[in-house]
Amino acid sequence: MRLVTPVTQKTRLVNLVTQRMRTAPADQLTFRVRIGILPFYFIGGLMTRRYLEFRRVAFYSSIFGHASGMGI
């Protein structure tokens, strides 16, 4: 029975990454940058979408509120 500890997995991953970096450093750099940006992009997109939905709902509710209040 062979134990696979997180350390060995990590070293394997590091070896793979260094191997990739040696083969294609530019691709690895862009990949790492993308991975770094991705969560922020995702969270920002979610928050922006929610904010826009909130603004749209508030806008429509204010319009309809005024319209119904004026008896139109």
Per-residue pLDDT in tens (0 to 9) along the chain, 72 residues: 555 565 677 787 777 766 665 656 667 677 777 777 777 877 888 888 888 888 888 887 777 766 555 554
Domain range for 40:
6-69
Tell me the C-alpha distance between 21 and 15, whole Å. 10
- pLDDT at site 23: 59
Q: Is residue 29 part of a domain?
A: yes
Q: How many domains does one find in the chain? A: 1
pTM: 0.29
Q: Rounded distance, CA 48 to CA 63, Å?
A: 22
Between CA 57 and CA 12 the distance in angstroms is 50
Distances (CA, A) of 14 to 21, 27, 72: 10, 16, 67
Domain contains 1: no
